[in-house]
A and B are shown apart, each in its own frame.
Chain A
């Protein structure tokens, strides 16, 4: 995966083209809406994978940064004004970078712990941010929620700009992952995942490498949160720092395959439409949660490695079988 193969470039180009064409082929607002959500989860899952998939450090705090992005955009709207139309989208990279910068010291503390402790500490970050959203009333309006100005987009293609913004973020995430996998940083991260003590012993600056991957994860997640807030125009603590959103992204990464480039996107393409279908069918009752947890269990217990690694394993073993099958035939020909 480390070299730019033609097949890889074709795959990426085809995905980008299909992604851009989608809202212009399917106009119906509800389809584009599912598209926005699918891309949002795909981008979040890709961001999660960028840190947790490659380093092996499971973070459960991603929703904190999603929420921080949402609230930062909302608060900026309220107090500064970032224009209307497409303008807020252009402010997002800066918002994301600011949040990433703030998160680094916290990550530095959290990264002093390992494995399960790290997962739990990052989970407390999620609750810290949620508490802040509840309590800093002068900024966030607490549990009443924050209203953003309605974006002035033409009503019949209202969802399309958000769709394109989410797509841009997903493509940026995929490009980042691809670049990292090709680079020395990628090798460092994989070395950390395999054996951190050994990697440190070999002179790899493990903390620096982890922090870079972490900040990229935060940067992407915060931008996704910003687009989401602008799309919904109304945010409140429970919805913007939602453990369910994050666990959804983690589940999609597990389904598609951790540590693979396309896994998180594939997981999102399978699960988000399923999830939306379940919400419309079961949403009225809380049965939706039961269904979701059942899907979750099935994925984790039956496909713990994910779709892509399992597929790759199957293809490899098939090739292997074919080769061992053919070899004696070749030898016979040589004799003849």
Chain B
């Protein structure tokens, strides 16, 4: 029992970071029906940026969030303008899947040229310390990472519910045509939201690099989990993405201690398939219809 509770704690802490990455992915889908397959590669890119800042300029990885996130926001806006915006028409969504996949390959290629394929990890002095609460070990970095993710998610939800921009975004999600008719600049909303989605990946990436060793090829592992999370949560649902991330973290952690770590991510994919059997639209999703 002790082990299971320890696993649940670990799972929730890990799930928080995935929630941050997945929220960006599902937000972008909700607004423009685009799945950004490069989200995983962008997380890894941010991890490398934060790693470089730490090892060359000695900036703490958690502080580097403040530098990496705005930089990647600009990158995200540029990607939307150059690659994603032109994809319109009936096949737009499907094409975007492949275009962002190509983008992921490009990022992986560039990173492998610059950093080679050896595994790196950003290791600040407190990387290995942990607290003990009622006999349960809580790693410092993981808790910091969870708190940082939670703060950013709260900020995101405040942005969406309390600001004019957020209202425009929610209106676009609900009914793009009506939103445009009421004077929402759809192009602007789409571009800024894509940048926002990428900056979520960036913030999560800076944190990810402290917890897990990564190399340019790590994005496959990330994106496979992220895509499963957003489908399980229901495409376009922020709450669903957060809920599914925590669920994935807990399931994987429990399987890792009870059965074997090698079956951890496998078990989550199976849970996803089993769940879709009952509810194809995901936890909070709306059933997709043929357009």
> Which positions in A face B, CB cutoff 8 Å?
58, 60, 106, 109-110, 112-117, 119-121, 123-124, 127-128, 131-132, 134-135, 195-197, 243-244, 247, 250-251, 254, 285-294, 296-297, 300-301, 304
Contact = CB atoms under 8 A, between A and B. Distances in A.
Interface stretch (B96-104, B159-167, B194-202): B96-104
A288 B108 CA distance: 11
B290 A251 contact: no
Interface stretch (B125-133, B150-158, B181-189, B260-268): B260-268
Given A127-B224, A127-B269, A132-B266, 11 more contacts: A112-B276, A112-B277, A117-B281, A121-B276, A124-B228, A290-B109, A290-B110, A293-B103, A293-B109, A294-B106, A297-B83
Interface in B223-250: 224, 227-228, 230-231, 235
**Lowest 10 A-B CB distances belong to which pairs?**
A289-B109, A286-B112, A293-B106, A296-B102, A290-B109, A293-B105, A112-B280, A131-B266, A127-B224, A114-B288
B273 A109 contact: yes
A60 B220 CA distance: 13
Contacts of B282: 117
Given A123-B227, A286-B113, A289-B106, A301 B266 contact: no
Contacts of A296: 98-99, 101-102, 105
B109 A288 contact: yes
B112 to A, nearest CB: 3
Contacts of B108: 286, 289
Given A119-B94, A121-B231, A131-B265, A195 B290 contact: yes
B48 to A, nearest CB: 14
B232 to A, nearest CB: 10
B214 interface: no
Interface in B143-181: none
A243 B265 CA distance: 17
B99 A300 contact: yes
Contacts of B98: 247, 250-251, 254, 296, 300
Given A289-B109, A297-B102, A134 B277 contact: no
Interface in B205-232: 216, 220, 224, 227-228, 230-231
B7 interface: no
Interface of B: 29, 33, 35, 83, 86-87, 91, 93-95, 97-99, 101-103, 105-106, 108-110, 112-113, 117, 216, 220, 224, 227-228, 230-231, 235, 262-263, 265-266, 269-270, 272-273, 276-277, 280-282, 288-290
Main SS class of interface, A: helix
Given A128-B269, A293-B103, A297-B99, A110 B276 contact: yes
A113 B276 CA distance: 8
B109 A58 contact: no
A231 to B, nearest CB: 25
Contacts of B216: 286
Contacts of A300: 95, 98-99, 102
20 contacts: A113-B288, A114-B289, A117-B280, A120-B230, A124-B224, A124-B269, A128-B266, A134-B262, A195-B290, A197-B290, A286-B216, A287-B113, A289-B105, A292-B105, A297-B102, A297-B103, A300-B95, A300-B98, A300-B99, A301-B86
Contact of A117 (B94, B105, B220, B235): B235
